[in-house]
């Protein structure tokens, strides 16, 4: 089996260290650890809409994409909002849309009694809270050798979030149920679209199989607080177990449809296709997430003796069965117990393995298995856009023990 070049994550650096560290500091940081600076670009400015976040815990890829540093994830069951990654397809709407949250209006169609409802009205229909992994489809793209286009995410385009909102199934029930023949739940974002472009080429509109409606939420709170504008406030569609692109921000229209949306982001975007091929509607869409895990510490060095090797694992739409850790790149495996509370099938589970390590170099990898017996493969699923990477080998870390 071919071996792939070893990739290391950078040590966690404070923002002050990054700014004053000089050339020596920058040269020591891996491409995956600090992408913009390590590639010789100027330090990217922190956009206003994320200045409330802990920027020392984020890698800024662009003005719309920020990745959580691997070391910042640690052993947390829930990812704090101020270190959660950011991925926006369009410019963030103005703060005015969250000035009166309950006045936000959503149009519903494809139901027996179509109508528009304000968030205030929706809140009277029911409330649920669910913990889910929010993950970008391209999380792990940086490991693909063919140079897939898009943000070069390592592992930090993911987090575990607690959402509170209105159950979508209750909304549809209140509107008389689906129209005959409905097969998809289609959500449209409320961002302002650039002028002079075909609306369908830029609008964020995603369709998912209708059965996802049973778990879907119209979420207005995140981690116990009003949903930030940065992450889709005042209202966001949340599809537990599905990749982030399906969790449409600033949701303005929800339709039950016979066919998938013809918007570019659905018709040809976020499609799994062979390297070199263009996107097309017949290719698999980035819907349900697959089983995945990675180590969050130690990442680079460790002292000889007793060490706790920790990480996170999740099953996508399935609950987890277990996770294993190898210290020799998959030659030998040991079961790693979960730690912390189980927040349900869509959440991630932190794990830890206690190991006595002597001096030397270790290639540490993890491999999760879901309740249906699906385990992470060794290698990545090669595809044009670098989607759905859950191969365990690339996600490992090389740790020097001394």
Query: In this structure, how many other beta carbons lie within 10 angstroms of the beta carbon of residue 150?
Result: 16
Alpha helix ranges (H) inside 138-220: 168-174, 199-202
Strands, sheet with 205-209, edge to edge from the N-terminal-most edge strand: 115-118, 105-109, 251-257, 184-189, 205-209
> In angstroms, how far is the first alpha carbon of the chain from the final one?
30
- 374 Cβ contact partners less than 8 Å away, ≥ 6 residues apart: 290, 291, 315, 318
Question: CA-to-CA distance for 143 and 361, rounded, in angstroms?
Answer: 21
Sign of CA dihedral 88, 94, 100, 102: negative
Q: Which two tokens stand for residue 66?
A: 């920020």
Q: What pLDDT was estimated at residue 45?
A: 77
Residue pointed to by tokens 């060794």:
378
Q: How far is CA 129 from the centre of its chain?
A: 19
> Using the 8-state DSSP alphabet, how is residue 230 labeled?
G
**Burial (CB count within 10 angstroms: exposed 0-12, middle 13-18, buried 19+), residue 2:** exposed
Regarding beta strands 301-302 and 397-401, do their DSSP bridges make them parallel or antiparallel, or are they unpaired? parallel
Sign of CA dihedral 207, 208, 210, 215: negative
Q: What pLDDT was estimated at residue 43?
A: 63
Query: pLDDT tens digits, residue range 90-115?
Result: 999 999 999 999 999 999 999 999 99
Ranges of beta strands (E only) in 31-157 are 58-62, 65-68, 86-87, 105-109, 115-118, 128-135
Q: What pLDDT was estimated at residue 280?
A: 97
Q: Which two tokens stand for residue 303?
A: 């002292």
> Using the 8-state DSSP alphabet, how is residue 29 labeled?
S
**What stretches in the chain show pLDDT beneath 50?**
1-42
Mapping DSSP to helix (H, G, I), strand (E, B) and coil, where does residue 16 land?
helix
**Burial (CB count within 10 angstroms: exposed 0-12, middle 13-18, buried 19+), residue 360:** exposed
User: In what helix (H) or strand (E) does residue 187 lie, and over which residues does it extend?
Assistant: strand 184-189
Question: CA-to-CA distance for 253 and 194, rounded, in angstroms?
Answer: 19
**Burial (CB count within 10 angstroms: exposed 0-12, middle 13-18, buried 19+), residue 387:** buried
**Domains along the chain with CATH numbers:** 95-267 (3.90.420.10), 292-401 (2.60.40.650)
């Amino acid at each position: 089996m071919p071996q792939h070049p070893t990739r290391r994550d950078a040590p966690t650096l404070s923002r002050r260290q990054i700014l004053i560290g000089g050339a020596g500091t920058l040269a020591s940081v891996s491409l995956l650890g600090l992408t913009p600076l390590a590639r010789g670009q100027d330090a990217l400015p922190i956009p206003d809409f994320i200045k409330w976040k802990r920027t020392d815990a984020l890698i800024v890829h662009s003005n719309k994409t920020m990745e959580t540093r691997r070391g910042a994830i640690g052993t947390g069951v829930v990812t704090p909002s101020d270190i959660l990654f950011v991925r926006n397809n369009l410019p963030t709407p103005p703060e005015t849309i969250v000035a009166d949250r309950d006045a936000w209006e959503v149009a519903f169609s494809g139901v027996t009694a179509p109508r528009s409802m304000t968030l205030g009205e929706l809140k009277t229909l029911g409330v649920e809270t669910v913990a889910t992994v929010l993950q970008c489809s391209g999380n792990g793209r940086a490991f693909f050798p063919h140079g897939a286009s898009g943000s070069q995410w390592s592992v930090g385009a993911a987090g575990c979030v607690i959402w509170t909102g209105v159950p979508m199934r209750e909304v549809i029930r209140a509107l008389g149920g689906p129209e005959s023949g409905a097969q998809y739940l289609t959500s449209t974002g409320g961002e302002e679209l650039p002028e002079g472009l075909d609306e369908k080429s830029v609008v964020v509109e995603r369709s998912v199989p209708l059965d996802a409606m049973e778990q879907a939420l119209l979420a207005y709170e995140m981690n116990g607080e009003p949903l930030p504008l940065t992450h889709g406030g005042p209202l966001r569609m949340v599809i537990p177990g599905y990749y982030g692109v399906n969790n449409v921000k600033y949701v303005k229209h929800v339709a039950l449809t016979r066919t998938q949306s013809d918007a570019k982001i659905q018709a040809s975007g976020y499609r799994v296709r062979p390297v070199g091929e263009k996107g097309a509607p017949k290719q698999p869409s980035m819907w349900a997430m697959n089983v995945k895990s990675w180590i969050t510490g130690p990442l680079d060095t460790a002292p000889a003796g007793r060490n706790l090797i920790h990480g996170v694992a999740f099953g996508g739409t399935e609950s987890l069965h277990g996770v294993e850790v190898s210290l020799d790149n998959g030659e030998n495996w040991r079961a790693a117990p979960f730690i912390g509370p189980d927040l349900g099938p869509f959440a991630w589970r932190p794990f830890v393995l206690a190991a006595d390590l002597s001096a030397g170099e270790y290639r540490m990898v993890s491999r999760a298995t879901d309740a249906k017996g699906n385990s992470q493969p060794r290698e990545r699923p090669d595809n044009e856009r670098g989607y759905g990477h859950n191969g365990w080998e690339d996600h490992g870390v090389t740790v020097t023990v001394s």
